[in-house]
């Protein structure tokens, strides 16, 4: 008894461990999205744009910093000028060999907001890059979501077909035994085998589709095409869907496309201000210090020297460049307004479509559930009538096929409802990752 008890405990432990391993190995949509959004090349490339945006901001800020450099030169000139003074001799005005080394500093003092506007514009560009990254993640998430739920359906479809084949094979054995006693005909045996062959073909098609979908998901995740995947069934519960007017307001506020369109408009306004500021005066201070020769009385001696000053630059005529740049920016602003209107219209269409699909899918779930319940009741009655000889083998097979098809239909409607609900969330600008 003790040995039997130990064997039972070991068996149960192994069974529980197997189930736990299966649950651990199955991947949720959230886990897959986290994996994809970290490794997918499109996202990595988009995030690299942030480095370029930070560099552009740093470059714009550099206008506040001094420009410091060291210059040196050697110059040989000839002929050199000289002057002769009676009774004193001849003196060179310049040495033939000239040496010069200087430290130069140039610092901008005030440019009437030109640098500040340029920095603000580049920071807006960085914000636009962040919005574009979020948009890319949302679009990629939607693609992965469709692939994920296709695998969920196909995995469950394989299980349902396996159950169907098991039942049909059991029924075939039952009919063959009845045929041995003369209670069943060869036609009943053949019709059952035909049904089994048909289900096997359906299973083959499902497995082929599952392999293709799994390969695509592995591509998203950066795995080899033949990596085995087992995804978890993440189906959403019924949710109350708000009226369209409320959904429109939410979508206009949250959608990345809308934020990007508005950001482009704001950037165009800042660009216009920056263009106008290009002809603003600029004040700067400069200083240099170094050593050079050529000073009297000893022109060959390297002598320390310095220079300090203040400069101003006032543009007068820039060949109409500022004028045409402003015209170009204003035209772009008008184009951005039209892009924003197009985005609004597209969002309205997506929200209406996603909301309608979600409501219709929910109704189908209820109808499919009722259909499965009726098919199961019909099959139970068919089994009783078949054993009583009131219906044929074909009628019994039809009743069971109806149950299997109803299970698949219910699963599909549940998945369709989940996908439609997630698409509605995406249409509203909510993150699914």
- Reported as a single tens digit per residue, the pLDDT across 406-418 is 999 999 999 999 9
* Residue 90 three-state SS: strand
Would you state the pLDDT for residue 10? 39
DSSP structural state of residue 333 = H
Confidence of residue 433 (pLDDT cuts 50, 70, 90): confident
Give 174-212 pLDDT, tens digit per residue: 888 888 887 778 888 888 899 899 999 999 999 999 999
* Confidence grade of residue 392 (pLDDT, cut at 50, 70, 90): confident
Residue 70, SS3 per DSSP: strand
Q: At what angle do helices 321-387 and 393-427 cross, to 10 degrees?
A: 160
Backbone angles phi, psi at 431, to 5 degrees: -85, 130
Spatial contact of 95 and 293, defined as CB atoms under 8 Å apart: yes
**pLDDT tens per residue, range 9-57:** 333 344 333 433 344 468 899 999 999 999 899 999 988 999 999 999 9
| pLDDT tens column, 324-344 | 888 888 888 888 889 899 999
- What distance in Å separates the CA atoms of residue 250 and residue 4, rounded to the nearest whole number? 64
Q: How does residue 279 score in pLDDT terms, banded at 50, 70 and 90?
A: confident
**Long-range contacts at 334-341 (CB < 8 A, ≥ 24 apart):** 336/261, 336/264, 336/265, 336/268, 337/265, 339/261, 339/264, 340/258, 340/261, 340/262, 340/265
Write down the pTM of the prediction: 0.78
- Give me the pLDDT at residue 14, please: 40
Give all domains of the chain, ordered by start, each with its CATH number: 27-65+112-279+319-427 (1.20.1600.10), 67-110+281-314 (2.20.200)
How far is residue 86 CA from its own chain's centroid? 89
Report the residue count for the chain: 433
215, with CB counted inside 10 A (0-12, 13-18, 19+), is middle
Q: How far is CA 357 from CA 236, 328, 329, 360, 430, in A?
A: 15, 43, 42, 5, 18
């Amino acid at each position: 008894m003790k040995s039997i008890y130990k064997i039972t405990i070991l068996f149960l432990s192994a069974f529980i461990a197997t189930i736990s391993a299966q649950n651990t190995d199955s991947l949720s949509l959230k886990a897959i999205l986290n994996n994809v959004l970290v490794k997918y090349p499109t996202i990595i490339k988009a995030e690299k744009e942030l480095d370029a945006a930070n560099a552009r901001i740093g470059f714009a800020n550099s206008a506040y910093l001094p420009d410091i450099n060291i210059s040196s030169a050697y110059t040989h000139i000839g002929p050199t000028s000289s002057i002769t003074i009676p009774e004193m001799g001849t003196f060179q005005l310049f040495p033939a060999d000239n040496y010069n080394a200087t430290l130069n500093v140039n610092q901008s003092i005030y440019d009437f907001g030109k640098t500040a506007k340029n920095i603000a514009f580049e920071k807006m560009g960085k914000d636009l890059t962040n919005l574009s990254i979020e948009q890319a993640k949302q679009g990629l998430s939607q693609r992965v979501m469709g692939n994920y739920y296709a695998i969920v359906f196909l995995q469950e479809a394989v299980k349902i077909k396996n159950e169907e084949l098991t039942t049909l094979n059991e029924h075939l054995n039952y009919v063959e035994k009845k045929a041995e006693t003369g209670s069943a005909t060869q036609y009943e045996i053949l019709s059952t085998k035909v049904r089994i062959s048909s289900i096997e073909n359906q299973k083959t098609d499902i497995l082929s589709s599952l392999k293709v979908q799994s390969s695509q998901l592995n591509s998203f995740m950066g795995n080899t095409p033949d990596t085995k995947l087992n995804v978890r069934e993440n189906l959403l519960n019924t949710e109350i869907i708000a009226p369209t007017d409320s959904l429109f307001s939410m979508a206009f506020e949250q959608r990345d496309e809308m934020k990007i369109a508005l950001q482009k408009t704001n950037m165009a306004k800042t660009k216009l201000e920056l263009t106008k500021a290009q002809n603003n005066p600029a004040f700067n201070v400069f200083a240099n210090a170094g050593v050079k020769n050529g000073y009297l009385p000893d022109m060959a001696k390297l002598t320390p020297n310095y220079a300090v000053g203040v400069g101003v630059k006032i543009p007068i005529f820039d060949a109409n460049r500022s004028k045409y740049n402003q015209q170009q920016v204003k035209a772009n602003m008008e184009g951005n307004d039209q892009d924003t209107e197009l985005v609004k219209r597209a969002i309205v269409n997506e929200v209406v479509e996603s909301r309608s699909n979600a409501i219709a899918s929910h109704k189908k779930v209820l109808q499919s559930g009722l259909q499965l319940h009726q098919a199961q009741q019909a099959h139970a009655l068919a089994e009783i009538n078949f054993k009583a000889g009131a219906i044929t083998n074909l009628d019994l097979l039809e009743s069971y096929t109806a149950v299997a098809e109803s299970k698949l239909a219910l699963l599909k409607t549940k998945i369709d409802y989940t996908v439609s609900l997630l698409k509605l969330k995406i249409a509203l600008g909510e993150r699914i990752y």
